[in-house]
Amino acid sequence: MSITRRSLLLGAACAPLATLLPRMAFAAPLFDSISMFVPAAPGGGWDSTARAIEAAARAAGLAGGFQFENVAGAGGMVGLPKFVNQRKGQGNALMVGGSVMVGAGIANKSPVTIRDVTPIARLTEESSVIVVPAASPHKSWKDLATALAANPKAVSVAGGSAGGTDHLLLGLLVRALKGNPKDAAYVAFSGGGQAVAAVIGNQVTAGISGYSEFAEHIKAGRLRALAVSGNKRIPGVDIPTLKELGTDVAAANWRGVFAPPGISPAQRQALTDFMAALSKSTAWHEVLEKREWTDVFLAGPAFQTELDRDLAETEAVMKSLGLAS
């Protein structure tokens, strides 16, 4: 999700708002500037979420400016310590993260994890899609599932960082197909753009990622979508779920924003208010519709409770799949 995609997103999110929003919405931004930290390479889901926040916040008059920093690696575990140490106590700093970071912290046995930042809000949820190159001999999920069941080691699958949502989904699929998840041939990439390139370039057998990361290539015919991982189909997208196709697996990838440690209750509330206002804005809902992201906004103590639950459940799943000790 590059400069070109950012320009498209800004155009889609900003253009209609001049007539839709009242003048007063632009009068007094809640923040003069936001320091946005993305613990992943440009082109992935976290980066696109951060850029979408910028586009919608500017269009809704909620922030005067944004400064971005991308630090990629290990499902956010390379960038996370930098955010924790360098942004500590900064009341205008936000980091985009999500379920990938939960698993990556466990898989990498990181001394700094998502527990060390301040949860502000969960924003979106997105089903993963399983794709193959357009010229792949695997014409359907049944074809790919047969190959996975026969020899998981021979079916290379690209996705995000090790221990993340994509990796967990592959492990669950192999287990559902009566194989050993430890035999899964998972190829991890630090950015969604790299994983997309690997699949299109026939460097791997298949790919797993959020639908929005593959959507333009599916529509252009460069990739063939075989199944989505949610309990239901993505609205407006004609791709069957794994459950429809006879594989009893469902998973989704959530994304949210976090503040650094050491901020005051007042600073945390200001950031929470900012994200709550963003979530209600016309600009943000246009982004959700364009990206086909599901709105699962949750903030405050409720988000903290949900995060704690997710950490416990993810660790249990990873242990059962042999991805954590």
Segment 7-62, tens digit of pLDDT: 333 344 444 433 344 333 445 799 999 999 999 989 888 999 999 999 999 999 99
Segment 206-226, tens digit of pLDDT: 999 988 889 999 999 999 999
**pLDDT > 60? residue 294:** yes
Check: CB of residue 322 under 8 Å from CB of residue 182: yes
Q: Would you kindly state where each structural domain of the chain is located, as residue ranges? A: 3-125+253-320, 126-228
Segment 163-179, tens digit of pLDDT: 788 888 999 999 999 99
Q: How confident is the model at residue 316 (pLDDT cuts 50, 70, 90)?
A: confident
Task: Pick 295 or 320 by higher pLDDT.
Answer: 295
Tell me how far apart the terminal alpha carbons of the chain are, to the nearest angstrom: 34
Which residues are CB-neighbours of 242 under 8 A, at least 6 positions away? 130, 141, 173, 227, 228, 229, 248, 249, 250
Instruction: Give the per-residue SS3 of 298-323.
Output: EEHHHHHHHHHHHHHHHHHHHHHCCC
Separation between Cα atoms, residue 199 and residue 135, nearest integer Å: 11
Written as one letter, the residue type at 188 is A
Mean pLDDT of the chain: 89
Average pLDDT of the segment spanning 246-264? 95
Phi/psi at 238 (5° precision): -90, 65
Segment 141-150, tens digit of pLDDT: 999 999 999 9
Task: Give the pLDDT confidence score for residue 252 in this predicted structure.
Answer: 86
**pLDDT > 80? residue 69:** yes
Q: In the chain, pLDDT over 90 holds for what percent of residues?
A: 68
Q: What is the dihedral of CA 169, 170, 173, 175, to 10 degrees?
A: -110
Q: How confident is the model at residue 191 (pLDDT cuts 50, 70, 90)?
A: low
Separation between Cα atoms, residue 55 and residue 261, nearest integer Å: 26
**pLDDT > 50? residue 66:** yes
Check: CB of residue 252 under 8 Å from CB of residue 171: no
Q: Which CATH number fits domain 126-228: 3.40.190.10, 3.40.50.9100, 2.40.50.140, 3.40.50.300?
A: 3.40.190.10
**pLDDT > 50? residue 246:** yes
**pLDDT > 70? residue 109:** yes
Check: CB of residue 71 under 8 Å from CB of residue 289: no
Task: Give the pLDDT confidence score for residue 22 in this predicted structure.
Answer: 39
The CATH class given to the 3-125+253-320 domain equals alpha beta
**pLDDT > 60? residue 138:** yes
Taking alpha carbons only, the member of 236, 222, 232, 257 closest to residue 50 is 257
Task: Pick 292 or 297 by higher pLDDT.
Answer: 297
